[in-house]
């Protein structure tokens, strides 16, 4: 089977807003969600900044008793799924839930729960470890809890591919619907890793920005003065639906998903392969899957982490795939505003991409001030741009050499 798949619901929990409207408004206004860390004392770490989700109360989405048995990464996922279902207009009471599946992953999982229970183990002994410790911590539980809370009895799975997680979850869900294994999929990523052990771990790798004095200017993808990524948290969930059923129920269609590519660098546990060769092959695989030519793409929502090697490699990969058309493309990174949401990045960036298509408005790369050598593409610097976008591509590249690309187009 080769069924068409469309996006009919969006749910976003992000450092720049909760819900589709607040998230999108912040993006096009160029607001940064990066501030000094408030969830713990970061003074012993050389990075004191992150993109924390503000004003989030899990009790607004989940029974308070149940919420106590979930890690924050699961809170975000369930809340984003609820927002996505509400946005889609799907009445679950009237649906065959055996045909609705879940594919929601996380890059790190319940690291805060893990850290807390280690403290209990060493200070109070193993008999004081919470009986909810394991189901709170394990990475599949975001998908599991979404399935349980909404009664979804179809495919129930998750992907863990570091920073490519959300994109892989959406891509795999696209293929499940295409081949008839599901009619509707809840897909995306979630992350809540702003904790001493995770921030300290990334800092020890020298992967994080140390521009602590100006948090809002620290994440600066493609800019000459970038010095590392800024951690973020949150969740991005989309509702994917087979086109025919979406039309029958009169759904609001944001965009159609038409292509998915994935491959591996097979090079290093953290560094991208030199020159971006495998990233280029990943984008080309997505174009081939979509059956389109490079010249048909108008916009790329870049992985754009604000790290020296990633931004250079991605730029080189874009030039390799798109040739002379690369200079005609708009390329922007919303990580300049949200920070890097790790396993959730692909989810919120897919949402940003389909809203770009729907609204004919391209979010900017903020903090872009100085060109870095041959990195000379159109990075949509600092100000959103009104432009017709018929076809857009979204990239995600993760530690371990995981590469994933999605292609969306305007539904007609």
Just list the catalytic residues: 163, 303, 340
Give the residue from 339, 408, 386, 314 showing the smallest Cα distance to 31: 339
Token pair for 174: 């696209």
Q: What is the CA radius of gyration of the chain?
A: 20
| Residue 391 neighbours by CB under 8 Å, 6+ apart | 258, 292, 296, 297, 298, 299, 357, 407, 408, 409, 410
Per the CB < 8 A criterion, the answer to whether 20 and 79 are in contact is: no
Locus of tokens 């602590």: 212
Strand, helix or coil for residue 70: coil
Give the sign of the dihedral formed by CA 19, CA 91, CA 347, CA 283: negative
Per the CB < 8 A criterion, the answer to whether 326 and 318 are in contact is: yes
42-77 burial code (b ≥16 CB/10 A, e <16): beebebbbbbbbeebebeebbeeebbebbbbbbbbb
Give the sign of the dihedral formed by CA 156, CA 8, CA 343, CA 282: positive
For residue 95, the 8-state DSSP code is: S
How many alpha carbons lie under 13 Å from residue 30 in its C-beta half-sphere?
A: 14
- For residue 300, how many other CB atoms are within 10 A of its CB? 28
Per the CB < 8 A criterion, the answer to whether 392 and 300 are in contact is: yes
């Amino acid at each position: 089977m080769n069924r068409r798949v469309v996006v009919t619901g969006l749910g976003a929990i992000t450092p720049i807003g909760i819900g589709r409207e607040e998230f999108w408004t912040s993006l096009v206004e160029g607001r940064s969600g990066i501030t000094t860390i408030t969830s713990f004392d970061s003074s012993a770490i050389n990075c004191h900044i992150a993109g924390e989700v503000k004003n989030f109360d899990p009790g607004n989405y989940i029974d308070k008793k149940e919420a106590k048995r979930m890690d924050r990464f699961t809170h975000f996922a369930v809340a984003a799924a609820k927002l996505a279902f509400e946005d889609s207009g799907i009445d679950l009471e009237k649906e065959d839930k055996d045909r609705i599946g879940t594919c929601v992953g996380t890059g790190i999982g319940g690291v805060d729960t893990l850290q807390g229970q280690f403290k209990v183990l060493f200070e109070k002994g193993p008999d004081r470890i919470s009986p909810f410790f394991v189901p709170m911590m394990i990475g599949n539980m975001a998908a599991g809890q979404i399935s349980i809370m909404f009664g979804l009895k179809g495919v129930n799975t998750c992907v863990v591919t570091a920073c490519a997680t959300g994109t892989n979850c959406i891509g795999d869900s696209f293929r499940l619907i295409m081949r008839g294994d599901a009619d509707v999929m809840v897909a995306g990523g979630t992350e809540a890793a702003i904790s001493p052990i995770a921030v300290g771990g990334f800092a020890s790798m020298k992967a994080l920005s140390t521009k602590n004095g100006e948090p809002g200017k620290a994440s600066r993808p493609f800019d000459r003065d970038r010095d590392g990524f800024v951690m973020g948290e949150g969740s991005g969930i989309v509702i994917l639906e087979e086109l025919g059923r979406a039309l029958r129920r009169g759904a609001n269609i944001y965009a159609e998903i038409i292509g998915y590519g994935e491959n591996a660098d097979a090079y290093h546990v953290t560094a991208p392969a030199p020159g971006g060769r495998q990233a280029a092959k990943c984008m080309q695989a997505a174009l081939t899957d979509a059956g389109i030519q490079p010249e048909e793409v108008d916009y790329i929502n870049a992985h754009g982490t604000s790290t020296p090697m990633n931004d250079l490699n991605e730029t080189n990969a874009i030039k390799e795939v798109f040739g002379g058309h690369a200079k005609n493309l708009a390329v922007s990174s919303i990580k300049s505003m949200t920070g890097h949401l790790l396993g959730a990045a692909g989810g919120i960036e897919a949402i940003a991409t389909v809203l770009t298509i729907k609204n004919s408005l391209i979010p900017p790369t903020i903090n872009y001030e100085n060109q870095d050598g041959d990195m000379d593409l159109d990075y949509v610097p600092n100000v959103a741009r009104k432009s017709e976008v018929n076809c857009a591509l979204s990239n995600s590249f993760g530690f371990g050499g995981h590469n994933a690309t999605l292609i969306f187009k305007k539904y007609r």
